[in-house]
Structure 1
Amino acid sequence: LAGVPYNAINSMKMLDDLVDVNKANMMKAEKIASEGISNLTRAQKRNLDTLDNIINKHLTEKDFSGTLRDLQGNPVPKPGGGHWNHLQEMQDSYKGLIKIRKGLEGSLNNPQLNAATREVLQDGLDKANKYIKEIEDLFEPFGGI
């Protein structure tokens, strides 16, 4: 490393150290998540799986834009005739999220939960609340959901 300024060498070493710390933190987080998932009850797993299903299949960007069009009185036409009912799909998703939120809140009230399981359930609850708020915000200018 002849000719390389000391500060540059020192900065590279500090960067390497940061990368190592970041890798260690990621491995620790993955281990905690894995422990948390393995300790879930069937009902808790079902709630989290249903949450992911609702988000991935029914709360896409197209679902939100289609719902907005429905609310504005401009529904998305189907290629073979008729219109998509994004409004009903969004209302059904909202009801499902509310049910999941209730289940996750109930699970989190258990004082016997270990930290890893509590973290997994709290992450799920946070995700559910985020989408509930997005749906409520979408409907708010039209009188609410």
Structure 2
Amino acid sequence: MDGNPVPKESGGYWDHMQEMQNTLWGLRNHAETLKNVNNPEAQAAYGRATDAINKIESALKDMVYDYFP
């Protein structure tokens, strides 16, 4: 993700940005399932998920800005 491609053994290169975007997409979907559940454990999990989403989004935005100011 720092601009240095990482080769795959099978050829080509890993797309770490796409992997992070896929992780973020999955986390958003799982967080959405917890959003309206009315129990403390689900609400705590939803809070942790949204915190993680915000951190990942911020990191991705910072990385993109570093390479495309």
Structure-2-length-normalised TM-score? 0.64
Matches within 5 A, 1:1-145: 67-68=1-2, 70=3, 75=4, 83-84=5-6, 88-108=15-35, 110=36, 112-143=37-68
Q: Which runs of 5+ in 2 are unaligned?
A: 8-12
Q: Report the Cα offset of residue 91 of structure 1.
A: 2.4
The runs of 4+ residues in structure 1 deviating greater than 4 Å are none
Q: Which has the larger radius of gyration?
A: 1
Q: In the aligned structure 2, how far is the partner of 1:142 from the partner of 1:87? A: 18
How many residues are matched? 64
Q: In the aligned structure 2, how far is the partner of 1:105 from the partner of 1:129? A: 14
Q: Which has the higher contact order (CA 8 A, sep 6+)?
A: 1
Q: Report the Cα offset of residue 95 of structure 1.
A: 2.7
Greater fraction of residues in helix: 1
Structure-1-length-normalised TM-score? 0.36
Q: Report the Cα offset of residue 87 of structure 1.
A: 6.9
Q: Please tell me whether the aligned partners of residues 98 and 132 of structure 1 are also in contact (alpha carbons under 8 angstroms).
A: no
Relative to structure 1, is the Cα distance of residues 143 and 106 closer, same or farther in structure 2, using a 3 angstrom cutoff? farther
